[in-house]
Amino acid sequence: MELNQYLDMFIEESKEHLQACSDNLLELEKNPEDLGIVNEIFRSAHTLKGMSATMGYEDLADLTHKMENVLDAIRNHKISVNAEVLDIVFESVDHLEEMIMDIADGGDGKRDVKATVAKLKAIELGQPILAQSTVQAIEETVATVVETTFDVPQLQFDDYEKTVLQQSSEQDFNAFEITVVLREDCLLKAARVFMVFDILEKNGDVIKSVPSADQLEEENFDQQFQIAFITKDSMNEIQKKIMKVSEVEHVSVLPLSYEQFTTSTVEETHIETTVNDTFEPVTTPVAVNENHQINDTKQKSNSTSKSHTSSSKTIRVSIERLDILMNLFEELVIDRGRLQSISTEVNHSELNETVERMSRTMGDLQNIVLTMRMVPVDTVFNRFPKMVRSLSRDLNKKINLEIIGAETELDRTVIDEIGDPLVHLIRNSIDHGIESPEERIANGKPEEGTVLLRAFHSGNYVFIEIEDDGAGINKEKVLRKAISKGIVTKESALTLTDKQITELILASGFSTAEVISDISGRGVGLDVVKTTIESLGGSISIESTEGAGSIFSIQLPLTLSIISVMLVEIETETYAIPLSSIIETAIIKKSDILNAHNQKVIDFRGKVVPLIYLDDVFDVPRKQQLDDEYQSVVIVRKGEKLAGLIVDSFIGQQEIVLKSLGNYLSNIFAISGATILGNGKVALIVDCNALMK
C-alpha cells in the first residue's frame, strides 16, 4: 500500500488531535479531578499513536505511547494530576508538534526525546523525576549495554569455525566480534558493507558475518551487521579504520575467544539480569505491553474510522485545489465581461437575457467559491492558550486568556499570515502590559491579569482586538525612548497627540524593555506586526489608558482575492485604487493647490494634505498637457497620514480579482498587482501604502 497518498491527511488529523490534547490539558489543569477530560486526551493520544504506527513513524508512535501510559495511569487512579505531571505531558505534546511539523516539511519526524521519555517513565512508575544530567548518564549506559548485548544479531559458530577461532587464539591472533551500525539515511548500504569487508580482508580474515554475505549484498538487513574477525591488529586500530568509511555511525569491537563464545549464553543471561535490575524502563514486559497496545489501537481505530465514515458529511480539500478553482472562475469573469460587451453591441434580446442570467449565476458561484476559502480564526487562536500558560510561568505572572468570536471567518490566505503578528501582540501585552501579581495587588487590581482576544465582522472587514487590563502605555517613557533613538525630534515631539505618541511603539527598532530576554527587548516585533498587517491591506491602531490597560485593534479585509476598487484613468491607462484606502474623491480647482516646503498640497477639511501626481509616479507619457481648470483627486489614508492622488478622471467602483504580477515584476514601485477588466484590458492596482512612506 502506498502511504504517501495519505500523508497530507495524516498531518492534518495529527494537528487536530494534538490541538485537542493541548486544549484538554489546559482544561485538566483547571479541573484536575475530572477524569472525563483525561479520557478525551487519552483518546486523542491513542488515535495519534495508531495513525503514526500505520504511517511508519515509529518515534512519533513510541513517544505517544509513553504519554498514553501516563494518562492511563491517571484514569486508573494510579497517579494523581499535579503541576509536575502536566508540565511533562505538555512537554511531550510540544515534542510531538515539532515532529509533525518536521514531517510536514518533508522530514522523517525524528527528534531526540530521550529525556522526556525518561520523565514519562518515572511518572508512570511513581518514581521521582531525575535531574537532566542523571537521565543522560543512565541513557548512555543503557544504550551501551543494550547495543552490545541485545540490539545486534548473535553470532553462532559451527564446529569448523570454532576450530579456526581456537587455532587463531593459539597462534596469538586477535579474534574480534565487530558490530557495524550504518546511518539511518545511508542510501547505498551494500556499497558501505563492501568497503568495510575490503578494509578487514586487507588486515586479517573474516570468519563469519550475520547476516550472511548474500543478504548483505542484497541489502537484506536493517542498519547493522556483525562480523567475526581474526587479525594481528589491535581493537582501536580496527575501529579507526572502519570508522573512516562514510555513512558509518558506530563501530563496536569486542574481544572474541573460544572460551567466550562457548559460555556466551551464561554471560548474556547475567548481563540481562543486571540491566533489568538496574534500569527498569527497558524491561521486557513493557515491550510486550506495547505490542498489545498497538494491536488494540488498530482494532479501535478501525472501528472508529467505520463509525466516522458512515456519519461524515464533509470532505477535505487542499487549498491548492481551491486556488485552481478560483483561477478558473476568474477566467469566467473575464469571459462574462466580454459577453456583456458583445451583447450590448449586438442588442439582441435573447442574448441579453442569457447573459444577464449567466451573470446572476456567476455571482452566486463567486460567493460559493469565496466562502469555501473562508476558515474560522479559531485555527489561529487555538495555539495561544498554551503559549500564554508557558509565558505566564516564565514571567511569574498570573494570566487569564479569554477568547471571543473564534468562529469569525477570514480568507485562508489572510489566516496564514496573521498568526505571527498576533503572537507578537499577545507576548507584548503579557510582558509589557500585565503587571506582576504584587504590583497589581498594590494598585487595587486582582492578582490575575486578563488578556482578551476578540474577533468580529464589520462590513467587508474583520476586526481582531487584543485587550489587556494591565498598566497601559507610559507615554512619557515612550516619548523619551523615541527621542533617544532618533525616531522623533524634540521639536516635533511637542506637537504629537497622545494617540500619535502611543503609536510610536510601532516604529522600527523601538523597545522599552530594559533587559533583553527571549520574550522582548531586541527591538523587533511591533514594527514587523505593522508591516505585515499593512501588506495584507489592513491597519492597526492602539488605544491605551495609563493604569487601566491597552487595546490593539487590527482591521483586515475579508479576502485578498476579490477586492473593491475605484477605477481611474490617467491618459489612456486605467488604474485601480483599493476602496479600503480611500476616504473620498473630489474635484478641486487648480487655484486651490498650494506650495509648502517644495510640495504641492491642498487644504482638505482643515488638514494640509500633500498631493501625489500618479502620471509622474508611473511615468505615463502625455500627448499634451491638460489645461483643465479642475482636477480629479482621490484622498487616501495610511494610518494617520493622508495624501491626495491626482488622476485624469474617475471611471467608477468595481469588484475585481487580484492577480499577482509574478516574480519578474515583483519589485515594481507602488503596484501591488493587476486585474483583467471585462474588456480584456489589464489594470494595475495602486499600492497606496508604498506612496506614503
Condensed to tens digits (0 to 9), the pLDDT of residues 12-30 reads 888 888 888 888 888 888 8
Helix (H, G, I), strand (E, B) or coil at 576: strand
650 with 581, same domain: the answer is yes
Angle between helices 83-104 and 58-75 (to 10 degrees): 160
The region of weakest confidence among 134-143, 277-286, 367-376 is 277-286
In whole angstroms, give the CA distance from residue 627 to residue 615. Answer: 15
381 with 432, same domain: the answer is yes
333 with 369, same domain: the answer is yes
| pTM (whole model) above 0.85 | no
Mention every residue, 6+ apart, whose C-beta is less than 8 A from residue 384. Answer: 401, 403, 422, 423, 426, 453
DSSP tag of 128 = P
CATH number at residue 82: 1.20.120.160
Residue pLDDT, tens place only, 303-325: 444 334 334 466 777 777 887 88
Partnered with residue 453 across adjacent β-strands are: 403, 466
Known active-site residue 460: no
Round to the nearest angstrom and report the end-to-end CA distance of the chain: 57
**Residues 203 and 284: beta-carbon distance below 8 Å:** no
387 with 531, same domain: the answer is yes
Over residues 510-522, mean pLDDT:
52
Asked if residue 134 belongs to a domain, the reply is no
Check residues 316 and 267 and name the one with the higher pLDDT: 316
Check residues 624 and 527 and name the one with the higher pLDDT: 527
DSSP tag of 181 = E
- pLDDT value, residue 129: 59
Give the neighbor-by-neighbor strand order of the sheet with 248-255.
204-210, 224-231, 174-182, 248-255
- pLDDT value, residue 84: 86
**Residues 546 and 535: beta-carbon distance below 8 Å:** no
Given 522, 557, 592, the domain boundary residue is: 557
509 with 391, same domain: the answer is yes
Asked if residue 437 belongs to a domain, the reply is yes
CA distances to 97, 176, 258, 264, 674 from 170, rounded to whole Å, are: 58, 15, 10, 20, 87
Q: Point out the catalytic residue in the list 68, 97, 409, 435.
A: 68
Asked if residue 478 belongs to a domain, the reply is yes
- φ, ψ dihedrals at 513, nearest 5°: -70, 130
- pLDDT value, residue 389: 87
Known active-site residue 68: yes
417 with 530, same domain: the answer is yes
Confidence class for position 183, pLDDT limits 50, 70, 90:
confident
Decide if pLDDT at 633 tops 90: yes
577 with 683, same domain: the answer is yes
Asked if residue 200 belongs to a domain, the reply is yes
CATH number at residue 225: 3.30.70.1110
Over residues 291-295, mean pLDDT:
40
Asked if residue 327 belongs to a domain, the reply is yes
The domain tally of the chain equals: 5
481 with 343, same domain: the answer is no
301 with 349, same domain: the answer is no
Known active-site residue 46: yes
CATH number at residue 517: 3.30.565.10
Check residues 482 and 633 and name the one with the higher pLDDT: 633
The radius of gyration of the chain's CA atoms, rounded to the nearest angstrom, is 35
Decide if pLDDT at 425 tops 50: yes
| Percent of the chain whose predicted confidence (pLDDT) is above 90 | 11
CATH number at residue 663: 2.40.50.180
**Residues 176 and 238: beta-carbon distance below 8 Å:** yes
Q: Point out the catalytic residue in the list 17, 24, 46, 177.
A: 46
Over residues 518-547, mean pLDDT:
74
538 with 420, same domain: the answer is yes
Confidence class for position 494, pLDDT limits 50, 70, 90:
confident
Check residues 516 and 79 and name the one with the higher pLDDT: 79
Asked if residue 203 belongs to a domain, the reply is yes
Over residues 62-79, mean pLDDT:
86
| Percent of the chain whose predicted confidence (pLDDT) is above 70 | 82
422 with 450, same domain: the answer is yes
Given 373, 393, 411, the domain boundary residue is: 373
Check residues 676 and 182 and name the one with the higher pLDDT: 182
Given 557, 590, 624, the domain boundary residue is: 557
Residue type for position 168: S
Residue pLDDT, tens place only, 559-588: 766 778 899 999 889 999 988 889 999 999
Print the domain residue range for 358. Answer: 319-373
Asked if residue 480 belongs to a domain, the reply is yes
- Helices marked H in 155-263: 159-170, 189-203, 213-217, 235-243, 258-262
Residue with the three cell numbers 527497558? 282
In whole angstroms, give the CA distance from residue 84 to residue 86. Answer: 6
Q: For residue 98, which of 88, 89, 106, 110 has the smallest C-alpha distance?
A: 110
621 with 547, same domain: the answer is no
**Residues 634 and 644: beta-carbon distance below 8 Å:** yes
Indicate the average pLDDT of the chain. 79
Asked if residue 267 belongs to a domain, the reply is no
